[in-house]
């Protein structure tokens, strides 16, 4: 064979091999990490020094049960799922997560951190009207634990939202239930208004931590294919992003199951994408790893109420991953 033809063939084979390799959707994440390391700018922020870029998007298929749990380091998907179910139930008490062995909110629920936010009236582990509160009770006036205790026997009866304090009767908006009701209705499920937001400027100063993932939109096309897009203003690429991808993919699969649809795609829009200085060595190690195929998810049964799903209802199949890389979360 002519040497030039042989050389050309080898180049073609190499290109094809690289295309095949980089077709794995996890490379969207790994290439972003590499871009931040190489082209990001150093900034001093609220909680430390970061290297960052602004603006990124990713897409992950959810078809045939696929779920994008990142594989280049072990992702604690059960911890992620427990937090999601806590959000879904509208919970804001970190003690509930602690009782399940979940400690991702501990630093933000500490006495020192709450006081730094001016939330001196909150008890330790009281997080205020954060994600789940806004999902299920958007803009409902927030009542602290101490207020509840002081009013628990008002008029000789147990505390209730309706009788607590004059002027706090508003129940807020259950955004998640509105979306569920629409998705179950063939005439409403193709609406372009299926939006749920955690960003509430009226209550930001009452939250232990203003939300990072602030808005999601659900979309049904081709009759029954459910997708979710999410916008996140602030992305801790080492600790946060792997959880955020998994969490909203879980949520999309769950709503599809609950509403009689098929999960199709998770689309991720990202604002400030940053790596903390202390995370850089671990990130450099992670980007050298080749991803494994994503696992699949089975939700064993459809429950009557969205609040009733348990961790045991979710089965992950064939999750293959590289060893854990320990990144300390920066509060």
Distances, alpha carbon 295 to alpha carbons 78, 175, 237, 257, 317, in Å:
14, 30, 21, 18, 6
Long-range interactions of 278-284: CB distance < 8 A, separation 24+: 278/48, 278/328, 278/330, 279/237, 279/238, 279/239, 279/327, 280/37, 280/51, 282/238, 282/325, 282/326, 282/327, 283/33, 283/37, 283/237, 283/238, 284/37
Query: Of 258, 187, 178, 273, which Cα lies nearest the Cα of 226?
Result: 258
Q: Active site includes 212?
A: yes
Can you tell me the distance from the alpha carbon of 58 to that of 33, in angstroms, rounded to the nearest whole number? Answer: 13
Beta pairing class for 296-299 and 314-317 = antiparallel
- Cα–Cα distance for residue pair 237/198, rounded to 1 Å: 20
Task: Encode burial over 272-309: b for 16+ CB neighbours within 10 A, e otherwise.
Answer: bbbbbeebbebbeebbebebbebbebebeeeeeebeeb
Rounded to whole angstroms, the Cα distance separating 129 from 281 reads 35
Q: How far apart are CA 271 and CA 174, in angstroms?
A: 26
| Among 260, 267, 298, 251, residue whose Cα is nearest residue 183 | 260
> Active-site residue among 212, 216, 259, 273?
212
Q: Enumerate the active-site residues.
A: 212
């Amino acid at each position: 064979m002519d040497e030039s033809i042989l050389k050309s063939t080898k180049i073609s084979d190499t290109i094809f091999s690289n295309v095949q390799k980089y077709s794995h959707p996890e490379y969207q994440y790994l290439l972003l990490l590499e871009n931040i390391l190489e082209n990001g700018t150093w900034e001093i922020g609220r909680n430390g020094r970061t290297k960052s870029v602004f603006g990124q998007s990713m897409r992950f298929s959810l078809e045939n049960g696929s779920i994008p749990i990142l594989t280049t380091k072990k992702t604690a998907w059960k911890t992620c799922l427990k937090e999601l179910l806590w959000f879904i139930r509208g919970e804001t008490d970190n003690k509930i997560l602690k009782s399940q062995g979940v400690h991702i909110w501990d630093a933000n629920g500490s006495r020192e951190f709450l006081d730094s936010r001016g939330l001196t009236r909150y008890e330790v582990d009281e997080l205020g009207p954060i994600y789940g509160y806004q999902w299920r009770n958007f803009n409902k006036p927030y009542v602290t634990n101490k207020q509840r205790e002081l009013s628990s026997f008002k008029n000789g009866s147990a505390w209730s939202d309706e009788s607590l304090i004059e002027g706090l009767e508003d129940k807020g908006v259950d955004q998640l239930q509105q979306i569920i009701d629409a998705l179950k209705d063939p005439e409403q499920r193709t609406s372009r208004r299926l939006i749920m937001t955690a960003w509430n400027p009226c209550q930001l100063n009452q939250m232990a931590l203003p939300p990072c993932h602030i808005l999601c939109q659900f979309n049904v096309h081709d009759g029954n294919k459910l997708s979710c897009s999410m916008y996140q203003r602030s992305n801790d690429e080492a600790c946060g992003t792997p959880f955020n991808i998994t969490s909203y993919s879980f949520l999309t699969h769950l709503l599809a199951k609950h509403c009689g649809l098929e999960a199709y795609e998770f689309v991720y829009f990202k604002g400030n994408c940053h790596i903390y200085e202390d995370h850089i060595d671990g990130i450099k190690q992670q980007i050298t790893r080749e991803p494994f195929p994503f696992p699949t998810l089975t939700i064993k049964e459809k429950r009557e109420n969205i609040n009733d799903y348990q961790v045991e209802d979710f089965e992950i199949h064939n999750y293959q991953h590289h060893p854990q890389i320990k990144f300390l979360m920066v509060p």
